[in-house]
Structure 1
Amino acid sequence: MNKNKTAVPSPNLSRRRFLARSTVAAVGAGALGSALLSPAAWAASAIGDHASTTLLRMARDVFPHDSLEDKYYAQVMSPLAEQAAKDSDLQTLLKDGVAALDEQAKKRFGKVYLEVATEADRVTILKALQDSPFFQKIKGDLMMGIYNNQELWPRFGYGGSAWEKGGYVNRGFDENDWIEGV
C-alpha cells in the first residue's frame, strides 16, 4: 500500500439513514412549495380557481390599499375558505355571490368581474350587491381581518391600543401626520 495516498473515508450513510434524511427533505420541500402558492390559491379547493381569484379581486376593491400585498387579503380569506370547505351553506353563499358578481358585470360591461378593467367600474358592480348577505359577509370578514392585523397597524399609522400605556393624551395624539386636518 502506498503511504502517500490518503484514504478517503467512506460515507457513513446506510439505507435507513438515507431514507430518513430524504423523507425530511421531501417534507421540507412540500412545506416550501405550499408556502409559495399564489395568494389566489387560498380557496381553490373549496370554491374553485375562478371564485377564489374573483374574491381576492373583490377584497382589494372593497378595502383598496395599494401598498398592501395580496398575501394580507389572502390571510383574511383563507379561514373563510377553510370554513366553506366544511360548511355547505357558506360554500353556496360564496359560489352564488361570485356568480352574482359575474352576472352584474356581464349585464353592465359584457364580461365577468375579473375582466372589468377599472376599479371604478368594479365598484359600481359591488354597489349593486352591497346589501346582499354575500357582500356583507366578505366586507365583515375583511374589515376585522385587515384592520385587526397587528402586523399591518404600522402601515396604517396606528400605534395600537394605548389604554395600558396611559392613553393617547400624553403620548403625542396631536402629532399624527397621517390624519389630514389635525
Structure 2
Amino acid sequence: MAFPAKYPSLNETTLSDGAKAILERIIRVAFPHRNFPDGAYQRMRDKIVAEAESSTWFRVVLTQGLLTLDAKLADGEHFLELPQDRALAVLRSVQDLEFFGFIRRTTVLNLYADPVVLQVLGYEGESFSQGGYLHRGFDDLDWLPKARIEEAGEPLVETGPLPYQVRTESGTTAPGTPAAISGGSSAAAAAGPGPQSGVAADGRTQQPGAVQ
C-alpha cells in the first residue's frame, strides 16, 4: 500500500513551468552579465533541463532543489520576486547542495560556449574552419603604441628592427653604437673586418645597414 507524502510536492520528478522560471533566475543571479541577451539564459535553462532528463537522479535532485528555494523564505516571499542581492544571498545558502552544484557545473561548461555569448565577448571562435588566423588579423595590435626610445635628452624617436647585432664582452650592442664601431674596441677586434664590425674593408666607417 502506498502512502502519500505529507507534502505532495515532494513527489514531483518533473519540472513545472514555475520551476523552470526559478532555474532561469538562478542562472541569471549566479552568472550576471548585463550585456548577455535573454536567449542565452533561456538556452542555458533548456540545456540544464535536457541534461537532467538523461539521469533520473539529477532530475529528482534538480526538481526537489528548486522546490526548496521558496521554502527557505519567510512571510510568503518567492525567489522570483527577490531583488538581486537577496536572491544571491539565498543561493549562497544553498551553494553546497547537490542541485546547485549540478546547475553551476553545467552552466560553466555551456553558457560561455553559446555562439551569441561568444560574439558578445568578442571571441571569434576556433580558426581552423575559417582558414586559420594568419590572414584574419592575427598580428593586429592597433591598441599598442609603437616602440619609442629616448637617448641622452634627445627627443623620442620611433625605432624599427635592427639589421644585426654585435656581441661584445659586456653583452650585445646594437649596430651604430660606440662599442660597435670603435676601432679599438674588443667588439671590433672580435668581429674582424667587414660590415658587421662597423668598419669597411677599405678602412672607412660603414653606417649600419649601408650597402657598399
TM-score by length of 2: 0.51
Structure 2 residue 88 is the aligned partner of structure 1 residue 130: no
Which secondary structure state, in structure 1, belongs to the residue aligned with residue 20 of structure 2? Answer: helix
User: Structure 2: any 5+ residue segments left out of the alignment?
Assistant: 1-12, 145-212
Match of residue 141, structure 2, among 172, 179, 182? 172
Report the residue type matching 1:111 in the other structure: E
Compared CA separation, residues 139 and 83, structure 1 to 2 (3 A): closer
Which secondary structure state, in structure 2, belongs to the residue aligned with residue 152 of structure 1? Answer: helix
Structure 2 residue 87 is the aligned partner of structure 1 residue 119: no
Q: Distance in 1 between matches of 2:67 and 2:142?
A: 45
Q: How does 1:32-47 map to 2 (within 5 A)?
A: 46-47=14-15
User: Structure 1: any 5+ residue segments left out of the alignment?
Assistant: 1-44, 176-182
Q: Give the match for residue 30 of structure 1.
A: none
Which secondary structure state, in structure 1, belongs to the residue aligned with residue 116 of structure 2? Answer: coil
Q: Distance in 2 between matches of 1:173 and 1:140?
A: 37
Shift of residue 153, structure 1, vs aligned partner: 1.4
Shift of residue 114, structure 1, vs aligned partner: 1.1
Who wins on radius of gyration, i.e. which is larger? Answer: 2
Which secondary structure state, in structure 1, belongs to the residue aligned with residue 34 of structure 2? Answer: coil
Higher RCO, 1 or 2 (CA under 8 Å, sep at least 6)? 1
Aligned length: 128
Q: Distance in 2 between matches of 1:123 and 1:88?
A: 28
Q: Give the match for residue 14 of structure 1.
A: none
Report the residue type matching 1:172 in the other structure: L
Compared CA separation, residues 171 and 115, structure 1 to 2 (3 A): same
Q: Distance in 1 between matches of 2:143 and 2:19?
A: 44
Q: Quick check: which one's strand share is greater?
A: 2
Deviations, residues 60-114 of structure 1 (Å, cap 9, x unaligned): 111112222322112122233234334321111111211232222x14x741211
Q: Please give the root-mean-square deviation of Cα atoms over the aligned residues, in Å.
A: 2.9
Compared CA separation, residues 119 and 136, structure 1 to 2 (3 A): same
Percentage of matched positions with identical amino acids: 22
TM-score by length of 1: 0.59
Q: Quick check: which one's helix share is greater?
A: 1
Q: Distance in 2 between matches of 1:78 and 1:127?
A: 23
Shift of residue 173, structure 1, vs aligned partner: 8.9
Shift of residue 174, structure 1, vs aligned partner: 5.5
